[in-house]
Structure 1
Amino acid sequence: MLSGINHITLAVSDLNVSFDFYVGTLGFTPEAKWASGAYLSSGGFWLCLALDKPAAGNDGTHYAFSVSGEAFDVFAERLRSSGITEWKINKSEGKSVYFLDPDGHKLEIHDGDLKSRLSACLAEPYEGMEFY
């Protein structure tokens, strides 16, 4: 039986550029780095950067990272001042910034959680939404 996400591996075209972005801009903790990859962590979350040929899609697939409500505005400004490209405008509950990493992977910072999202959806459900 599954118990949660183990880790996410992202294909990156330049390991040093991506390492600097995830560590320097997003604040991940470096755990290990080698010629073709790196292991990073953030709040118990494990991210692997793997040197490869990225092929980011044209759909809504993305990876969201939690940021507390108190820290959100400062962190969002830090991202924007670093020159990130925003790929989507937030239209859902809570504060979010949707942005691209150096290889075009779609990322998000969000200050809510599943509970806050479901509460908002109970108040204003999406078309055809069912709750369990």
Structure 2
Amino acid sequence: MAVSFNHTIIGAHNPAESAEFYRAVLGAREAPNWGPFINLLLDDHTLLQFAPAPVNDAIHMAFLMDDAEFDRGYRYLVDHEVEHWADPQMRRPGEISTDEGRRVYFKDPSGHYLEMLTEPYL
């Protein structure tokens, strides 16, 4: 069997609010919940599990998507006035990067640093 990424647990101040944010921005699908987890499934079958936890150190996650999904997710960010940047240093607010594909950086409701991109780094 080849190695692939299966799931990650994302600590959240409010797991339901965070899960809804990821569902709306990424188009993730609802999955059965269990234990303390609110679960979402990405198109590649990666499971995102949101659990109540203090968020002391934010993590970074990047999501590769096609142009149509990027447009949909970016439209959500703009429509809901989610602060976003074209660069990871947060020096170009309200923009997207178009250097190699398209990229945008933003934070989820718990402060985790997210990235949507249309071209992989490798």
TM class by shorter chain equals 0.7 to 0.9
Q: How does 1:1-132 map to 2 (within 5 A)?
A: 3-34=3-34, 36-43=36-43, 44-57=45-58, 62-86=60-84, 89=87, 90=97, 93-113=100-120, 117-118=121-122
What code does the residue aligned with 1:65 have? F
The unaligned stretches of length 5 or more in structure 1 are 119-132
Cα-to-partner distance string for 1:69-88 (whole Å, 9 max, x where unaligned): 24433431222222222255
Q: Which has the higher contact order (CA 8 A, sep 6+)?
A: 2
Q: CA RMSD in A?
A: 2.5
Residues 9/2 of structure 1: CA separation in 2 closer, same or farther (3 Å cut): farther
Contact 1:15/1:49 (8 A) holds in 2: yes
State the TM-score, normalizing by the size of structure 1.
0.70
What number of residue pairs does the alignment pair up?
112
Determine which structure has the larger helix proportion and give its number: 1
2:90 aligned residue:
none
Q: What amino acid maps onto 1:85 in structure 2?
A: E
Moved more, 47-56 or 91-100: 91-100
Normalised by the length of structure 2, the TM-score is 0.75
Name the SS of the counterpart of 2:57 in structure 1: coil
* Over 3 Å off, 4+ runs: none
Higher Cα Rg: structure 1 or 2?
Answer: 1
Alpha carbons of 1:71 and 1:39: their partners in 2 closer, same or farther (altered >3 Å)?
A: closer
Give 1:29 deviation, angstroms.
Answer: 0.8
1:32, 1:103 → 2: CA distance?
A: 22
Spell out, residue by residue over 1:78-123, the C-alpha distance to the aligned partner (whole angstroms, 9 max, x if none).
Answer: 222222222552475210111100000011111012xxx44xxxxx
Between the aligned residues of both structures, percent identity stands at: 28
